[in-house]
Structure 1
Amino acid sequence: MMKEITAVSLFTGAGGMDIGFERAGVKTVFANELMKEAAETYNANHPGNVMVNDDINNVIDKLEEFRGVDFVFGGPPCQGFSVAGKMDPDDERSKLIFTFLDVVEKVQPKAFVMENVKALGILEKWEPIRKKYLERAQSMGYSCIPIILNATEYGVSQKRERVFFIGIKGNGDPFFEYHMRDLIEQQKQKAPIVKELLQSLGRAGTEMNPDTCTAKITFATRPIMRKSPYAGMYFNGQGRPIDIDGYANTLPASMGGNKTPFIDEEYLYGEAESDWVVEYHKGLLDGTIIPEFKDAPNRLRRITINEAARIQSFPDNYVFCGNKGKIYTQIGNAVPCKLAEVVAKAVIKYMQTEM
């Protein structure tokens, strides 16, 4: 009988990463989150009183008691590193990846997994920070590698690319990265297209899929065109149309208003032959449509909370707390559950077979 695998969860948010680790057989013994509503969401779905809703700097000294757990995992806020943000290394939030390592140093887990934006894993701009992070992990006795994964290759219908820093204590394996990549890639699973994923929820406004985002969709009078109908900016606001025959772009934490992506509902439910957005884009390109400022047709609508949660691979029965805007934020901020599960399973298997 294998002993229970335990973990400390940091920057927990609504618990997307925790769900993945739980599915891989890990029990969270302590969780920490600053945002009140996200902590409430976590408690509503994980009634074990392990959540502490406070600033991580206030709880760090209390973590001694969890010394020797198997894992420390979490996704520190990434706005400081995000290409979408200001990319400021002095942003307070950028320092939290080192606070994560402070906890690792205190708790001395067998392994750690830290998720962040892809930029931190590859951009030259972040090379010094990456180097400092990896050197610090090494000085603490952890061999650590960054691995970039695209969620669509692991069952998540969203083009979300993220870096996972995986550290294992006392690991002298020269082929660590090779083995870890192999264990992750063995779990590759093509994600369903958005149409297949969302259809069974039913129309927006029905029982399983309440209509939750009322932000209007309006046309831009000066569209910025791209080859793809899903890439240009010919609607106002940052919410873009989703290609339901493919995958959603990364769901942002700023959803809830006009930054919420949208879909053609008639096309989603098979009542229309083609996506309205594609036809409109074609008309703009060939000059048969003159752009004017007006509301988009009703068949175009923002994705609902339940749809956003499904795109992030949360279970359908997951309970979210807070107002609508806060719930959209929690969903956008989360690590897709299925992606976290893949990484957790790979690390556990590595520790069982290679260590």
Structure 2
Amino acid sequence: MNKELTAVSLFTGAGGMDVGFERAGIKVVFANELMKEAAQTYNANHPTGVMVNDDIYNQLESIGQYAGADLVFGGPPCQGFSVAGKMNPDDERSKLIFTFLDVVEKVKPRAFVMENVKALGKLEKWEPVRKKYMDIAAKLGYFCVPFVLNATEYNVSQKRERVFFIGIKGNDDPFFETTIANLLEEQKHNAPTIRELLGSLGKAGSESNPNTCTAKITFATHPIMRKSPYAGMYFNGQGRPINVDEYANTLPASMGGNKTPFVDEEYLYGEAGEDWVVAYHQGLMDGSITPEFEEAPSRLRRLTINEAARIQTFPDDYVFCGTKGHIYTQIGNAVPCNMAEAVAKAIVKYLNEHS
């Protein structure tokens, strides 16, 4: 019988990563989050009292009391590295990936997992940052490899690509990278389409699926066209239409207003034979429609909180605290639970087989 593994959770947010790691049999002994509402959400779902709502810098002195925990995991804020952000290496938030390693140095876990945007794992621009990160990890005695994963391959109905820096104490296993890659491969599970995922929630405005985003959907006067009806920008705001027969694009932390993605409700529930957006796009392309409408038809509507949470694979009974805006932010910021679970299971299997 393998003993229960323990972990320190950093930049915890609403706890999406924790849900996944807990499902893999890991017990979180300390969690830290700066945003008050996210910490409240965590406590509402994890009444064990391990959450410390504070700036991580204030916790660095005392965190050594958790030395000997098996894992340190978390997703430091990524705006400094994000293609969607300003990509500024001097952004204070960009330094938090190194603060993560400060905690690793004090806790000395057997392994660590740090999640971040794909750009940090792939872009040439960030090669010096990646190298610095791996060099520090190596100095601390960890062999570290970045793995870029796509959430859709891990039972998440969302085209969300993220990098997971996985570090293991000591580097006497020459096959570490290959072994972890194979273990991650074992965890792959195709995600349902958005229609399959959301169908059972009930329509927006029903008891099980309250309508939580009232931002109007209006037409762009000067639409930017793309081949796909789901890729152009022909509605105002950054909230794009979702193809319910496929997967959602990455849900942003800026949801709640007109940056919230939207669906065709009638098409989602099979009451219409075609997505309204497809016909509108076709009309714009062939010139039979000119963009002069003020507001889109009511069958187009924004994702609800419950739908966004389900797309991020939170349990349906997960309790979120704060205003609607805060809740959308917590959901968008989260690491999808199913994706985290897959990574955690791969790590647990590795640690159990190489203890």
What pairs up with 1:314-353 in 2 under 5 angstroms? 314-353=314-353
Match of 1:162 in 2: 162
Distance 1:291 1:281 in 2: 10
Match of 1:251 in 2: 251
1:200 is paired with a residue whose SS is helix
Distance, in Å, in 2 between the alignment partners of 1:171 and 1:16 is 29
Partners in 2 of 1:183 and 1:204 — Cα distance?
Answer: 39
After superposition, what is the alpha-carbon deviation per residue over 1:105-139, rounded to whole angstroms, capped at 9, x for unaligned?
Answer: 00101110000000000000000000000010011
Q: Distance in 2 between matches of 1:293 and 1:96?
A: 46
Aligned residue in 1 for 2:39: 39
Alpha-carbon shift at residue 291 of structure 1 (Å): 0.5
Q: Aligned residue for 2:213?
A: 213
Deviations 1:3-30 (A, max 9, x none): 2210000000000000000000001000
Q: Distance in 1 between matches of 2:2 and 2:159?
A: 36
| Matched AA of 2:256 | G
Q: Distance in 1 between matches of 2:98 and 2:293?
A: 47
Cα-to-partner distance string for 1:220-272 (whole Å, 9 max, x where unaligned) = 01000000000000000000000000000000000000000000000001000
CA deviation digits over 1:266-318, x for unaligned, max 9? Answer: 00010000100000000000000001141000000000000000000000000
**Matched residue, 1:55:** 55
Map 1:1-355 onto structure 2 (within 5 A): 1-355=1-355
C-alpha distance in structure 2 between counterparts of 1:107 and 1:336, whole Å: 25
CA distance in structure 2 between the aligned counterparts of 1:99 and 1:64, rounded to whole angstroms: 14
The answer to whether the 8 Å contact 2:252/2:333 transfers is yes
In the alignment, is the contact (CA less than 8 A) between 2:10 and 2:33 conserved in 1?
Answer: yes
Unaligned residue ranges in structure 1 (runs of 5+): none
Q: Return structure 1 stretches of 4+ with deviation > 6 angstroms.
A: none
**3-state SS of paired residue (2:178):** helix
Tell me the SS of whatever aligns to 2:298: coil
CA-based RMSD: 0.6
Query: C-alpha separation between the residues in 2 aligned to 1:187 and 1:29?
Result: 25
> Matches of 1:141 and 1:181 in 2, distance apart?
21
- Structure 2, unmatched stretches of 5+, are none
| Mapped partners of 1:257, 1:288: distance in 2 | 30
Residue by residue over 1:130-150, the C-alpha shift from the partner in whole angstroms, topping out at 9 and shown as x without a partner, is 000001001100000000000
Would the aligned equivalents of 2:2 and 2:352 in 1 still touch at CA under 8 Å?
A: no
- Distance in 2 separating the partners of 1:182 and 1:202: 38
What secondary structure is seen at the aligned counterpart in 1 of 2:191?
A: coil
CA distance in 1, matches of 2:173, 2:111: 14
Indicate conservation of the 8 Å contact 1:204/1:304, yes or no: yes
Return the letter of the residue paired with 1:194: I
Aligned equivalents of 1:105 and 1:331: distance in 2?
A: 30
Matched pairs, number = 355
Deviates more, 1:345-354 or 1:309-318: 345-354
Residues 6-55 of structure 1: per-residue CA shift (max 9 Å, x gap):
00000000000000000000010000000000000000000011000000
Counterpart-to-counterpart distance in 2, 1:334 and 1:158: 13
Structure 1 residue 171: deviation in Å? Answer: 3.0
Shift of 1:2: 2.6
Give the whole-Å Cα distance in 2 for the aligned partners of 1:273 and 1:243: 14
SS in 2 for 1:17: helix
* Partner Cα distance (1:159, 1:136) in 2: 31
Distance in 1 (CA, whole Å) between partners of 2:215 and 2:182 is 44
Contact preservation (8 Å) 1:265, 1:299: yes
The answer to whether the 8 Å contact 1:220/1:293 transfers is no
Q: Secondary structure at the match of 1:168?
A: strand
**Counterpart of 1:29 in structure 2: which amino acid?**
V
**TM-score between both structures, scaled by the size of structure 2:** 0.99
1:173 Cα deviation after fit? 1.1
Deviation at 1:177, TM superposition (A): 0.7
The percent of aligned pairs where both chains have the same amino acid is 76
The one-letter amino acid paired with 2:70 is D
Contact 2:36 2:53 survives alignment (8 Å): yes
3-state SS in 2 of match to 1:61: coil
